[in-house]
Structure 1
Amino acid sequence: MSKQFSLAPDTFPPRGDQPTAIEGLVDGLSRGKRIQTLLGVTGSGKTFTVANVVARTNKNTLVISHNKTLAAQLYSEFKQFFPNNNVGYFVSFYDYYQPESYLPQTDTYIEKDTEVNEKIEKMRLEATAMLMSGEPTIIVSTVSCIYSLGSPHEWDQSAITLSENMEIGRKELIHKLIEARYERNDITLSSGSFRVKGDTIDIIPGYSDDVIRVSLFGDQIEQIGIHNSVTMAKKRTVGTVKIFPAKHYIIGDDAKNDAVTSIQRELETWLPNLPGELERQRLNSRTNYDLEMIQELGYCSGIENYSRHLDGRKPGQPPFCLLDFFGNDFLLVIDESHVTLPQLRGMYQGDYTRKKSLVDYGFRLPSAFDNRPLKFPEFEKYLKSTVFVSATPADYEKKNSSAIVEQLVRPTGLVDP
């Protein structure tokens, strides 16, 4: 992969109002303007303009769209514009999602029920791995990017770096893989799993289709090869490889012990506040069961509800999300901002309303409130180098933009698209 963003060589040169819009946005970003709006009519090639801005500024870029279909379309377009750079796709991985809830009017508890799309889960892991690689990266996302995701520092710390001639025993490597949430399966190898045959360990990262084959000689790595997962034909030999965890929620031993203590303390403090013995008994048994699972396995069902304790955050402190994987200096593009911004604004309140009855009736600890999407004021703190893209900017864009760059003449020169 290139260390610079480079547009595909067969890309058409900008036409119509595109050259002026590109220059205006790039100039604004270089002058430190926090928020600009690209006001472009339908069919004027706004995505192509954004691609040129990305290539000129050479910053990691997050593009937020308001639904999966448009996000997939943008992902496809950016892949064509930047064939030699990282382009990732980060949307909700649920094909079906029934959130945990409680209806006190009918005394009905609805357990969380989900159907996960494994391909999209892999693409989410791939997106964060791209950002951690240090190479120029574009991620296309939906509002999923403001939801709790786990600590980028913990995720990076839990990655396993292997290199040729490195001293590491077979048992130690297996232990590290299990800690990184990889599953051992010596029969069928799939994404996020590994198998062991003698001194050879085959691993398929949670974000890849290739097999990493680690050949050991005693307690030393003899060779690391990248293989095709179907034919097992060797593609190449590498000197060093970094294997990121198979899941986004990772707990180190120190963080796990601190989290267990913190959860127990919260449980003891909160139990007297519940209205009846039934609620107290329910919360006590559920929480203690989860604590046993965390201590024994490192995770439990619904572990995200304890994310505040696992991340070491204070009550009310915003969760880690995809935005935190970008660092401090990145370009944020909000597509169809007149629709996407209201969606970003409304996510928190819906989540809070559902969880309130779970907490009030002893199904969850109050810390579950902190497994949430960002509040809009928290999201606004990330608007440091931002371009809103819209044909019909709303009041928020008009009020907060340092510049509104117009793109009214289409590349074709036609009045209608």
Structure 2
Amino acid sequence: MRPFKVVSDYSPAGDQPEAIRELVEGIRAGDRFQTLKGVTGSGKTFTMAKIIEEVQRPTLVMSHNKTLAAQLYREFKSFFPNNAVEYFVSYYDYYQPEAYVPSRDLYIEKDAAINDEIDRMRLAATFSLMERRDVIVVSTVSCIYGLGLPESWRDLRIHVEIGKPLNPDELKKQLVSLQYERNDAVLDRGRFRSRGDVLEIFPAYLEEAYRLEFDWEDLVRIRKFNPVSGETVMELDELSIYPAKHFVMKEDAIPNALERIRGDLDEQLERFRIQGKMLEAERLKTRTEYDLEMLAEMGYCPGIENYSAPIANRNPGDPPATLFHYFPDDFLLFMDESHVTWSQVGAMYEGDRSRKQNLVDFGFRLPCAMDNRPLKMAEFERMLKQAVFVSATPRNEELKRSTRVVEQVIRPTGLLDPEVEVRPSEGQMEDIYREVKDRISKDERSLILTLTKKMAEDLTDYLTGLGLKVKYIHSEVETIERVEILKGLRKGEFDILVGINLLREGIDLPEVSYIGILDADKIGFLRSTTSLIQIIGRAARNQNGKVVMYADRMSDAMKEAIEETSRRRKIQEDWNTSQGITPTTIKKAINDILVRENELKKEAVEMESSVLINSFNLMIPNDRKKLIRELEKQMAEYAEALQFEEAATIRDRIQEIRKMD
């Protein structure tokens, strides 16, 4: 095994060495759960990297969204250039799940656009886990969703070696059974082509292809080559080729799987006949028999994941195989931004189940489709042998499980948590104008946080009318445009950014030295203690950082956030004094901003809430009350995950429904 080795110009500084020592000590002592409570900018990622280097274990790093996962992936790639650092997130650029709305007799067919590169990276992650131990996988919570059995994926690999007899025709048949497509014209990922005595294979998980040269039935040469230029990259003596998809079946498992699916079909058809649901029975019979024919002929069918339980010979209700099952037993988990990620894991199962229940009840899917699901929270927790929660604001869920809570407050740059002031709402516009003008004169930037999209837009118009360069961000601003806006802020194309929730962008804005929080005393998820502390941290990258809360009273959340910030600032000041450190603003290349973000879009949230709304009759008062309760649960889940714009979208829906009373 190639050892994990951090390659960096930096050495642990501040309280990083002590945090690394304590957490490594806990891991070696067998502590199951620990918490790294690290402030923004304290180098938590570097601390994680040094821990991995110390313990030398395969590691899964979980994040709550793709933006932050991508940032972590880049950072770990730079720290471990000689090890396997992989990226495992949902491969959908767009995803509309299969659903059925009974009240409108509306069937919504699954529609998706798969990102080919992310699909390759997912397969590359499992490939690395099969081939080596020096692996770090950076993932979102998609890692808790069902994946093909690792035993099947591993056992179905094809191993070839120079000098050993190998029938090219048999090899081609094997490749087809592994879901590779033959295309003698174009060699693409997940395809192979044959030209005389040469067979070229482009594995679904690599960026290079293989060229196998035969002398009749003798394999005489193996080369890895660039599929674009054709240039040889490496000569090999042997290689293993893994399946092109995660959901694959061993040939001897197909008859048993088909028998189980047919058995489930017969039971469900009988159930429908007893209930008098003849339409549902005929619908289910037609769909399932078509899938059975495909599975028998090809070993694969569209929506094969809905049959994952009978294929894997699992009992109803048993947890599915997930990415966790591809890791060795001694793997280590880092849960980044655990205050969000933990609750997000817990919310996945119920949302998935409620959608599939209608599909089963109305004959669109067999009951076994319910077992193609994310892990339940209890199942997820059982999978964790050792985990470190990482957050600036860990919640009780993480803290009560942790045998050690290690604090990392000192920033290597010497930067302090920003000063926080509370000012009255009256006259706030004039005060904001003075503050941003002062920042502009110093070539620094400002963020202003509002509670609603309309307020963000109105404030942008107001400040623009005063001759200032302002832009806003909210959920209706497209992903790519968001990236360009944030890049423009850093480059100085404009000076002020207005938004509702600027926590989730997953990037650093060291040019920002002033943050104005409007309606800071309002009660709700946008102004909770955790949210305020996270917002304050946005100004901690600049030596002149300052946060102003505009409010008419001191809320409990404001008081707690200010007290915590003051406590940290005092520790940081004492450290700087003892070490003779002068704080310096972080200098970070602007091109470090993530180029692609595939987070849940507003449209997906609106569709999800629409499906729920259409399940109720809005003309009946009791139905309206039930719907409001369900939407409030949905809103709370998004708020718990700090996905405030999504929560706000649902909040607006609730307000519209209440107007009907």
User: Where on the TM-score scale, by shorter chain, does this alignment land: which range?
Assistant: over 0.9
**Does the Cα contact within 8 Å between 1:59 and 1:136 map onto a contact in 2?**
yes
Q: Deviations over 1:285-339 (max 9, x none)?
A: 1111110010011111111000001111111100000010002110001000000
User: What is the aligned partner in structure 2 of residue 205 from structure 1?
Assistant: 203
Match of 1:400 in 2: 401
Match of 2:658 in 1: none
Give 1:44's aligned residue.
42
> Which amino acid in the other structure matches residue 94 of structure 1?
Y
**Cα distance in structure 2, aligned partners of 1:32 and 1:135:** 20
Q: Is the 8 A contact 1:18 1:407 kept in 2?
A: yes
Aligned to 2:357: 356
How far did 1:355 drift?
A: 0.4
In the TM superposition, residue 58 of structure 1 has moved relative to its aligned partner by: 0.4
Asked if structure 2 preserves the Cα contact closer than 8 Å seen for 1:225 and 1:235, the reply is yes
RMSD: 0.9
Once the two structures are superposed, residues 183-208 of structure 1 have per-residue CA deviations (whole angstroms, 9 ceiling, x without a partner) of 00000001110000011100110011
The 8 Å contact of residues 64 and 334 in structure 1, kept in 2 or not, is answered as yes
Q: In 2, Cα distance between the equivalents of 1:23 and 1:53?
A: 8
With structure 1 as the length reference, what TM-score do the two structures score?
A: 0.98
Partner of residue 140 from structure 1, selected from 138, 141, 145: 138
- For 2:234 and 2:398, locate their aligned partners in 1 and report how far apart those are by CA, in whole Å: 49
One-letter amino acid matched to 1:221: L
**Kept after mapping to 2: 8 A contact 1:11/1:81:** no
The 5 Å alignment of 1:175-324 reads 175-274=173-272, 275=275, 276-324=277-325
Q: Where do 1:46-61 residues align within 5 Å?
A: 46-61=44-59
Stretches of 4+ moved more than 2 A in 1? none
Partner of 1:32: 30
Alpha-carbon distance in 1 for matches of 2:230, 2:248: 30
Q: Give the SS at the match of 2:61.
A: strand
Aligned residue number for residue 103 of structure 1? 101
CA–CA separation in structure 2 for the residues paired with 1:347 and 1:72: 21
Return the alpha-carbon distance in structure 1 between the equivalents of residues 416 and 265 of structure 2. 65
Whole-angstrom distance in 2 between the partners of 1:157 and 1:42: 44
Q: Tell me if the contact between 2:94 and 2:113 (Cα under 8 Å) persists in the aligned partners.
A: yes
Is contact 1:155-1:248 (8 Å) kept? yes
From 129, 132, 144, the counterpart of 1:131: 129
More helix by share: 2
Larger radius of gyration: 2
Percent identical pairs in the alignment equals: 50
1:46 counterpart letter in structure 2: K
Preserved CA contact (<8 Å) 2:177 2:298 = no
Alignment partner of 2:81: what SS? Answer: coil
Match of 2:410 in 1: 409
Counterpart CA distance in 1 for 2:309 and 2:297 is 20
Aligned to 2:372: 371
Aligned partners of 2:244 and 2:187: how far apart in 1? 14
**5+ long unaligned stretches in structure 2:** 418-539, 541-661
- In 2, the alpha carbon distance for the partners of 1:235 and 1:306 equals 40
- State the AA in 1 paired with 2:349: Y
Task: Name the amino acid aligned to 1:6.
Answer: K
> Gapped runs of 5+ residues in structure 1?
none
Aligned-pair distance for 1:99?
Answer: 0.5
| Residue number in structure 2 paired with 1:4 | 3
Q: Do residues 171 (structure 1) and 172 (structure 2) align?
A: no
Q: TM-score, normalised by structure 2?
A: 0.62
Offset of residue 11 of structure 1: 3.0
Q: Offset of 1:135 from its aligned partner?
A: 3.4
Amino acid at match of 1:207: Y
What do the CA deviations read for 1:200-250 (whole angstroms, capped 9, x no partner)?
Answer: 100110011212001111111111111111111212210111111111111
